[in-house]
Amino acid sequence: MAKDAVKLSVLRGLSSAITNDLVDKGRTPAGELTDEETLALIRRQVKQRKDSIEQFTTGGREDLAADEKTELSYLEVYLPQMMAADEVAKIVEAKKAELGITDAKDKGKLMAEIMKDLKGKAEGTDVKNAVDSLF
């Protein structure tokens, strides 16, 4: 029962965030977000939970971190599956070769191109780690 209450709370919070986003965009609360806008909003919610988990863990509040992890698990259900880190690494290597990048000073350019290609398909930290490992 307690998990159902947490799930209900997360879904209500998500619904409220959607309504707030609609109003921020100058639309009526009864309007709809596009699929891309909705996914971006859910990603922001997920990022907030991950940041909270990190801060609570650092602060020694494992009880609060556990609550955030539970909420995170309910939100992640609505996101598409992200690429594995090894898949990201292969794409990064291919893009590096395609762009002819040989110098570490062009890491930003490589990162920007890959993030454009993999938007919503890969975690930014995985992309950054793959790029950093090449230089």
DSSP string, the chain: -HHHHHHHHHHHHHHHHHHHHHHHTT--TTS---HHHHHHHHHHHHHHHHHHHHHHHHTT-HHHHHHHHHHHHHHHTTSPPPPPHHHHHHHHHHHHHHHT--SGGGHHHHHHHHHHHTTTTS-HHHHHHHHHHT-
2-76 and 85-133 agree in CATH topology:
no
**One digit per residue, pLDDT tens: the chain, 135 residues?**
555 899 999 999 999 999 999 999 999 988 899 998 999 999 999 999 999 999 999 999 999 999 999 999 999 999 988 889 899 999 999 999 998 888 888 888 999 999 998 887 888 888 999 989 988
- Give residue 64's pLDDT: 95
- Give residue 103's pLDDT: 85
CATH architecture of structural domain 85-133: Orthogonal Bundle (1.10)
- Give residue 124's pLDDT: 84
- Give residue 123's pLDDT: 83
CATH 3.40.50.2300 fits 2-76, yes or no: no
- Give residue 3's pLDDT: 59
Q: Domain ranges in the chain?
A: 2-76, 85-133
